[in-house]
């Protein structure tokens, strides 16, 4: 051996020895030190967990008749990762599947593409690792073709899944109230701690309306199977099995007959207004409530068929649903539309006047016009009616009486605070009363989207001015002293937009100017008037009933306040509103109505809007003594309250009590006092004496495309100014 090579040979021996020692140490670590850990891991890998989806609970009306149900159906789904592994990205598979399902190939491709930045619906918003449902209610023959030809359809599965069904026509009438379902995203799964079922068509969550509000109760609890599998992945046994628990029934206070009558009356009123040449594309809303705070009907026009979510919404359908050019049918105008209430607001002004010391037995002048702060304010129609009581002022809806009352109160109501320089400025006396009636803030109804309307307090005015004088609408930049009408308004707003002027005070007293309300807020206020002063937070849900028939929870409208008005004053106002129908502004509207059978009290409202037709408003309750129900309708850009909304409200009263040739939705004017219950067949049936058994929902006769997610509806709404 050459001496020079000896050191290298020794180094090689050392390196080999070190490698062998390290290998031996690693084997000892795995087989001895950490053997229990690896045995546990090896054991767990032979256990597979399979999540079984629950059946979503049904939404039913007050008699138990179905509105939205979930029924099992065969669903075809596609695994995106499996498609991506194909040499052509899965194009051939999708093409064959589209042909099999009689779906256009372009539609199929749109349904399975991921919703990313720049990709608009239809697209898939769920996890890319969840199978994407592309057709539901498929036949068993079609499902077998897919399952038996996996070579032609790799990554395509067929399984029984719950499918949402909307009972017609009631679900279209209630579309905005019901909301809709969409596939749950990975982030939603994580946030809510929910297991993925592996079928995204089942992992649906409520995205609006009652579906969102009561999602956790309706969704149910998934089941779980733990299966033992061998190294080849074959199932060798069942270790444990927990069946799924179906979601609860949501029993609502919606009466289907009243709802349908209300929706039809609203649509007909809008239609008549449009035929008269009024561009009422912004629709309208109507609400029917009990005097205990329950919602019997809530209609918003225009509406839409919620089944659109089941078959995959196209771009055109999306545009029509959310587009302002089509009236935004997805918007619930009963809770999100904000309109000037007009003279229906005067009930709060009477209450405020009495609180300020004005007498109910006093005499008040009703001239044709009054001049306040250098501006002339006219009575509607310019009649000079002379002295009258507050009772007559409500019956005849004399604006100038309320102008003068508001001006007198304004003069003594912290005049030094009318230049508002701080949000801590005191609230005006009349606006305190309006806030106490529930206006200016959300009602708390059991729906997720609601707008608060506006009561122009000094604080509210301060923030409006700060947001728009030099920002927002930028009154100071865009205003012109001799410009257009809008520019002149902006010029004045720039200079005195933070001043609570006498003009703003008198206009607010008749429900115009900056005042705006939602139809639900107005209905709730009239409920409080009718029941003697109790202010409720409205409720649509009435109870949750388990699949076994147990009442899980009763849902009662909570009391959130009491009107700061004497019961004698409320009785005085109610009596005046009964006179509105017999001899006042609604006398023509209710001419020939059988008031001897059902006495209706009401207030008309006609809120002027610059450049548009007036907002037609009609608020009512019945019977006049011991009222049970309140009906309110608001239709912007349509005309007088007595001409447009009034006749429609009359039709609703006809439908409720069965008058003037109508079938009674509530025979005898009574609602059931007990909940629907499950019979021995497991069907929810009406309380004894109320209605026929519910009809089993029909099923689509042919496969339909599965839901494709879309954006959530906006919560903005048009404002109403007089």
Model confidence band, residue 721 (pLDDT cutoffs 50, 70, 90): very low
pLDDT at 346: 97
How would you class 497 by CB atoms within 10 Å of its CB: exposed for 0-12, middle for 13-18, buried for 19 or more?
A: buried
Q: How confident is the model at residue 700 (pLDDT cuts 50, 70, 90)?
A: very low
Q: What average pLDDT does range 69-91 have in this prediction?
A: 82
Measure the CA–CA gap between 322 and 328, rounded to whole angstroms.
5
| Residues forming beta bridges with residue 242, ordered by sequence position | 224
Res 376 pLDDT > 60: yes
45-59, 335-349, 677-691: which has the highest mean pLDDT?
A: 335-349
pLDDT of residue 193: 62
pLDDT number for residue 692: 58
Q: What pLDDT is stored for residue 73 in this prediction? A: 75
Q: Compute CA 347 distance to the chain's CA centroid, rounded to the nearest angstrom.
A: 28
Name the percent of the chain lying above pLDDT 70: 85
Least confident of 196-200, 453-457, 597-601: 196-200
Tens of pLDDT, residues 558-600: 999 999 999 999 999 999 999 999 999 999 999 999 999 999 9
The CA distance from 135 to 126, in Å, is 16
Q: State the DSSP string of 359-404.
A: -TT--EEE-SEEEETTEEEEPTT----EEE-HHHHHHHT-HHHHHH
Mean pLDDT, the chain, rounded, equals: 85
CA atoms within 13 A on the CB side of 10: 6
- What are the pLDDT digits (tens) for 607-637? 887 778 889 999 999 999 999 999 999 999 8
pLDDT band at 150 (very low <50, low <70, confident <90, very high): confident
pLDDT tens, 516-542? 999 999 999 999 999 999 999 999 999
The pLDDT value recorded for residue 715 is: 32
Give the per-residue pLDDT at 169.
Answer: 95
Q: Which residue has the higher pLDDT, 40 or 457?
A: 457
What is the average per-residue pLDDT within 49-57?
A: 76
pLDDT at site 720: 34
pLDDT at 200: 41
Is CATH 3.40.50.720 the classification given to domain 345-518?
no
Res 707: pLDDT: 44
Residue 394 contacts residue 580 (beta carbons within 8 Å): yes
pLDDT, mean of residues 391-411: 96
pTM of the model: 0.82
The pLDDT-based confidence of 478 (bands split at 50, 70, 90) is: very high
27-36, 131-140, 506-515, 688-697 — most confident range? 506-515
Q: Work out the pLDDT band at 235, boundaries 50, 70, 90.
A: low
CA distance 604 to 627: 18
Spatial neighbors of 307 by CB under 8 A, at least 6 apart, are 166, 168, 171
Q: Who contacts 717 (Cβ-Cβ below 8 Å, separation ≥6)?
A: 331, 333, 336, 337, 338, 451, 518
Give the pLDDT confidence score for residue 710 in this predicted structure.
37
First to last CA, the chain: 112
Q: Give me the pLDDT at residue 50, please.
A: 62
Q: If you average pLDDT over residues 281-301, what whole number do you get?
A: 94
For residue 124, the model assigns a pLDDT of: 73
Most confident of 5-19, 65-79, 148-162: 65-79
> What pLDDT sits at residue 406?
97
Between residues 124 and 580, which one has the greater pLDDT? 580
Tokens at 712, concatenated: 């959530």
* Position 652 pLDDT exceeds 60: yes
Which of these ranges, 145-154, 178-187, 422-431, 704-713, has the smallest mean pLDDT? 704-713
Taking the domains of the chain in order of start, what are their residue ranges? 256-305+322-341+520-645, 345-518
Rounded average pLDDT over 155-184 = 86
Lowest mean pLDDT among 31-45, 81-95, 149-163, 304-318: 31-45
Which SS3 state, helix, strand or coil, does residue 47 take?
Answer: strand
The answer on pLDDT for 677 being more than 70 is yes
Which pLDDT band, with edges at 50, 70 and 90, does 350 fall under? very high
Three-state DSSP state, 462: helix
- Please tell me the least confidently modeled range out of 192-201, 347-356, 383-392, 571-580: 192-201
Q: pLDDT for 481-508, tens place per residue?
A: 988 878 888 898 898 899 999 999 999 9
**The pLDDT value given to residue 3:** 58
User: In the structure, what pLDDT confidence band is assigned to residue 713 with cuts at 50, 70 and 90?
Assistant: very low
User: Between 53 and 288, where is the model more confident?
Assistant: 288
What per-residue confidence (pLDDT) applies to 230? Answer: 59
Cβ-contact 581, 450 below 8 angstroms: no
What residue has token string 């032979």? 46
- Taking only the tens place, the pLDDT of each residue in 411-451 is 999 999 999 999 999 999 999 999 999 999 999 999 999 99
* Tokens of residue 422, six digits: 């701080």
The predicted structure's pLDDT at residue 234: 58
Compare 2 and 340 and report the one with higher pLDDT: 340
Q: Is the pLDDT of residue 717 over 50?
A: no
- As a CATH number, domain 256-305+322-341+520-645 is 3.40.710.10
CA atoms within 13 A on the CB side of 319: 5
Between the CA of residue 386 and those of 83, 376, 382, 506, 593, what are the distances in Å? Answer: 82, 18, 12, 19, 30
* Per-residue pLDDT, 274: 85
User: Quick one: pLDDT at residue 709?
Assistant: 37
Rounded Cα–Cα distance for residues 159 and 136 (Å): 10
The band of 697, judged by pLDDT with boundaries at 50, 70 and 90, is very low
What percent of the chain lies above the pLDDT cut of 90?
53
Task: Give the per-residue pLDDT at 202.
Answer: 47
Quick one: tokens of 272? 């008549």
Residue 560: phi and psi, rounded to 5, are -115, 0
- Hey, is 593 helix, strand or coil? coil
pLDDT bracket for residue 691 (50, 70, 90): low
Which pLDDT belongs to residue 198? 44
pLDDT at 5 over 70: no
């Amino acid at each position: 051996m050459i001496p020079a090579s000896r050191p290298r040979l020794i180094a090689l021996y050392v390196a080999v020895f070190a490698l062998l020692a390290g290998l031996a140490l690693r084997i000892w670590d795995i087989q001895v030190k950490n053997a229990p850990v690896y045995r546990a891991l090896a054991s767990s890998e032979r256990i597979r967990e399979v999540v079984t989806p629950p059946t979503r609970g049904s939404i039913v009306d007050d008699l138990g008749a179905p509105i939205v149900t979930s029924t099992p159906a065969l669903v075809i789904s596609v695994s995106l990762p499996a498609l991506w592994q194909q040499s052509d990205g899965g194009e051939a598979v999708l093409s064959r599947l589209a042909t099999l399902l009689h779906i256009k190939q372009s539609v199929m491709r749109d349904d399975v593409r991921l919703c990313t930045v720049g990709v608009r619906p239809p697209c898939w918003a769920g996890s890319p690792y969840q199978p994407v449902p592309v057709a539901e209610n498929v036949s068993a023959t079609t499902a077998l073709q897919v399952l038996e030809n996996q070579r032609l359809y790799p990554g395509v599965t067929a399984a029984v899944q719950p499918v949402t069904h909307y009972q017609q026509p009631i679900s279209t009438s209630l579309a905005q109230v019901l909301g809709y379902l969409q596939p749950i995203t990975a982030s939603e799964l994580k946030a809510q701690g929910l297991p993925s079922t592996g079928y995204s068509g089942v992992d649906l969550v409520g995205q609006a309306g009652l579906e969102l509000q009561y999602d956790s109760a309706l969704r149910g609890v998934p089941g779980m199977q733990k299966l033992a599998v061998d190294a080849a992945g074959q199932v060798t046994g069942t270790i444990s099995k927990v069946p799924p628990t179906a979601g609860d029934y949501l029993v609502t206070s919606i009466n289907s007959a009243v709802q349908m009558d209300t929706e039809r009356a609203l649509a007909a009123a809008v239609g008549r207004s449009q035929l008269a040449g009024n561009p009422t594309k912004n629709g309208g809303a109507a609400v029917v409530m009990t005097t205990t705070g329950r919602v019997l009907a809530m209609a918003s026009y225009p509406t839409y068929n919620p089944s659109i979510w089941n078959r995959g919404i196209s771009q055109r359908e999306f545009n029509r649903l959310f587009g302002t050019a089509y009236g935004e049918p997805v918007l619930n105008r009963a809770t999100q539309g904000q309109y000037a209430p007009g003279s229906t607001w005067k009930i709060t002004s009477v209450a405020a006047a009495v609180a300020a010391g004005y007498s109910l037995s006093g005499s008040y002048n009703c001239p044709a016009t009054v001049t306040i702060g250098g501006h002339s304010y006219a009575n509607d129609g310019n009649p000079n009616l002379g002295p009258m009581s507050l009772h007559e002022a409500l019956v005849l809806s004399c604006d100038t009486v309320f102008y003068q009352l508001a001006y007198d109160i304004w003069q003594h109501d912290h005049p030094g605070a009318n230049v508002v320089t701080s949000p801590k400025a005191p609230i005006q006396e009349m606006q305190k009363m309006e806030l106490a009636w529930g206006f200016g803030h959300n009602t708390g109804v059991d729906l997720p989207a609601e707008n608060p309307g506006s009561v122009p307090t000094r604080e509210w005015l301060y923030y409006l001015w700060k947001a728009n004088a030099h920002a927002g609408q930028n009154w100071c930049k865009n205003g012109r002293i001799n410009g257009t009408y809008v520019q002149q308004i902006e010029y004045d707003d720039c200079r005195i937009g933070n001043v609570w002027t006498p003009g703003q005070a008198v206009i607010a007293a008749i429900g115009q100017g900056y005042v705006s309300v939602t139809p639900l807020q107005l209905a709730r206020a009239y409920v409080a008037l009718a029941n003697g002063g109790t202010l409720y937070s409205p409720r649509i849900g009435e109870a949750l009933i388990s699949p076994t028939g147990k009442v899980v929870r009763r849902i009662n409208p909570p009391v959130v306040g009491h009107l700061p008005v004497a019961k004698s004053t409320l009785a005085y106002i109610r009596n005046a509103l009964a006179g509105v129908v017999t001899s006042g502004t609604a006398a023509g509207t209710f001419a020939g109505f059988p008031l001897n059978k059902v006495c209706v009290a009401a207030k008309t409202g006609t809120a002027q809007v610059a450049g548009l037709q007036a907002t037609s408003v009609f608020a009512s309750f019945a019977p006049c003594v011991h009222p049970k129900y309140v009906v309110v309708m608001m239709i912007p850009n349509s005309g007088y309250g007595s001409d447009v909304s009034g006749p429609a409200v009359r039709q609703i009263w006809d439908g409720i009590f069965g008058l003037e040739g109508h079938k009674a939705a509530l025979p005898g004017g009574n609602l059931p006092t007990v909940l629907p219950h499950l019979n021995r067949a497991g069907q929810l049936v009406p309380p004894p004496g109320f209605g026929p058994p519910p009809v089993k929902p029909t099923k689509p006769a042919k496969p339909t495309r599965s839901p494709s997610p879309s954006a959530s509806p906006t919560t903005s709404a048009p404002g109403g100014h007089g």
